[in-house]
Every structure is written in structure tokens, then in C-alpha cells.
Amino acid sequence: MIQLVPRQSASSFWQIATPLMAVLATMVAGGLLFAALGHDPLAAIRTIFWDPLFGPAASYSRPQLLVKAAPLILIASGLAIGFRAGIWNIGAEGQYIIGGITGAAVALAAYPAEGMWIFPAMVVAGAAGGWAWGMIPALLRNWFGASEILVSLMLVYVAQRVAAWMAFGPMKNPEGFGFPGSRNLQQYPAAANPELIAGTGAHWGVVAAAVAVLATWFLMSRHIRGFHIRAAGTAPRAARFAGVRPQALVAFCLGLSGALAGMAGLFEVAGPAGQITDKLGVGYGFTAIIVAFLGRLHPVGILLAGLLLALTYIGGELAQLTMQLPAASVQVFQGMLLFFLLGFDLLTRFQIRRRVTA
């Protein structure tokens, strides 16, 4: 018989070790899943984690690592700030979608004009759209005590319907022969988000993600607002005595995470996605939650976790093409990562001891 004994403080060793254990456990459980589906588990794991970096298709897949990782890191950086304060934004996917729509709206309104102001205006509009969508759960929590978890999550489905309406209605390409979807922004030079360095996959979204990591580190470790966030997350009552205003903090965290998610949506629409469609949401907002927790809500950890999850995206697509793995199995594989992380996270707060019986 065993018992869980609370630790006096979180174990620094296990905070570092448990993400590594979660990754290893995911590989083992994922291998069993792939074996149950009739595939070679070792070949599947190698295809997901090794081949995108060092396999025959690495010259194509390696640059895609930054393309996939940038939105995950950008969104997760904003989510982590709120999570540290005990403010749970689960609707970053909706903010990502709305940011892409509002940013693209600037480009489509300006078409076919040229000018260096267009793309920066799109970035601002994308951030503003995500911020506004994130402020809805913030205001409802502050004014009526509504759960930001439920409100932000439900708004994802509203955002998806808005994207479908735009693709079939106001933003539909008048030269698209009746097919749904906006103009392709990659064919509009003033609004495109091209690769900055050939062969690397780096675009302005990658630059924004790097800046977000640095800014998040500065905010959380060097700014008074970061102290307020940490205090609110660990000791809410004490934080009030330290001058923290809970309503202002809710608005700040949800607004900031929404703005970063909106920027990620804009960079995706102006870059890899290219246009507004009814399939604009691809799950980055939900996967970023895994990235935030796998990275221990720390900027450096989020950077590494974002690259790891991006690797599973690319490797998963490669496994689907070369091994005919079902797409759903790859999604389950990614979900296992959060499942095992939350399970092993118990070790950071509790010690496992043998129960002494009389």
C-alpha cells in the first residue's frame, strides 16, 4: 500500500524530469497504439521524431519545423501568462481565427493597392481582433462572474461559424469562379508573409514568436506586472493586499493572450494558409495548451515544447503519407503527451511513500 504525502514546496528536479518522462511514456504508449493498428511501432516513432529532421525528406520537412512551431509558441506564450495567474483561456483557437479574419480584412479592403503600411496594419488588426475576442470572456467574468473557461471555449465554435460566413459571403473571392474562400494573400505582394531567409521556413510569424518568448521572460521575471501575475496564481488573497486588482488582471491576461493568438492567425492567413476559408482553424489554439504545460509555463520551456509539438505535426503528416497511419491516431498521440504530463506532474507536488500499517 502506498500513500501520497504533500511536499512543502514543488520539487525542482521533478519539474524538469516529468516533461521528459511524459515524452518517453507517450512514445511507449503511442507505439502500442500503432502496433494495435497493425503498424510497426518502432518505424512509426522513427518516422514521427527522426525522419523529419534526418530522413530522406528532411530538406523539405526541416524548414517546416519553424512554420509549424511559430504559431504554437506565439499562442502558448500568451496562454502561459494567464495560466500562471489562474486565469484559464481555453478559447485561443477562436481568437486565432478572428485575428486571421480581421487581419485579412485590412488586406482585402486595400486590394489592389500597394504600400509598406499594409502588412503592419494587418498585424495590428489581427492582434486587435484576437484581443477583442479574448475580452468577451474577460468582461463576462468581471461583470457577471461567468467562467472564462466555458465562455472562451464556446466562442471557438462561434468563431468557426464566422469564418465560414466570411468564406461564403463578405470575403468570398469575386474572381474565384464561385468557390468559397477569400483571395489568396500570397499572390498579393503587399499583404503576403513570405519566407525571410530562403530554405529556413522563417517568416514574420517566427520573428514575432521569438520576440514573444523574450517579452514573456522579461514580463514574468523583471516587471511588476509579472510579480502580480505570480502572486495571483499562488496566493490570491495575499495578492489583493499587495495591490493586485483581480478584474484588471483578468482583462490584461485574457486580452494579451487573445492578441497573441490573433497575431498568430494573421501570420498564418498571410503565409502558409494564404486565404480565409471555412477550415481556417487547424487546432493550433488547442495544441498550444499542451505546449504551455509541457514547457512548464516558462518561456524557454515553451520554445522547446513548441518545436517538439511542431515535430509531431510534421512527422505525423509524414507517417500518414508513408505508412498510411490514420490522422486520428496521430491526434491521439499528441493528446497522450498532455495526459502523461498531468499524470507525472503529481510527483512535483507529492511524494510517494509506503503506507505504514499498525
20-61 pLDDT, tens per residue? 899 999 999 999 999 998 999 999 999 999 999 888 878 888
Average pLDDT taken over every residue of the chain: 90
256 close to 81: Cβ distance less than 8 angstroms: yes
pTM: 0.92
Could you give the CA distance from residue 72 to residue 336 in angstroms, rounded to a whole number?
17
- Asked if the model's pLDDT at residue 181 lies above 60, the reply is yes
Query: pLDDT, tens digit, for every residue of 286-338?
Result: 999 999 998 989 999 999 999 999 999 899 889 988 888 888 888 898 889 88
Across the range 190-216, mean pLDDT stands at: 90
307 close to 69: Cβ distance less than 8 angstroms: yes
Instruction: Delineate the domains of the chain, giving CATH numbers in brackets.
Output: 40-324 (1.10.3470)
More confident residue, 353 or 45: 45
Across the range 220-249, mean pLDDT stands at: 86
Query: pLDDT, tens digit, for every residue of 247-291?
Result: 999 999 999 999 999 999 999 999 888 899 988 888 899 999 999
User: Taking the CB of residue 110, how many other CB atoms lie within 10 A of it?
Assistant: 17
- Asked if the model's pLDDT at residue 358 lies above 70, the reply is no
List all residues 6 or more positions away from 323 whose beta carbon is below 8 Å from its beta carbon.
39, 43, 44, 47
Backbone angles phi, psi at 194, to 5 degrees: -80, 170
Give CA angle at 62 (56, 65), nearest 5°.
140
Cell of 85: 495567474
- pLDDT in the model for residue 357: 63
Could you give the CA distance from residue 25 to residue 337 in angstroms, rounded to a whole number?
8
Query: pLDDT, tens digit, for every residue of 120-154?
Result: 999 999 999 999 999 999 999 999 999 999 999 99
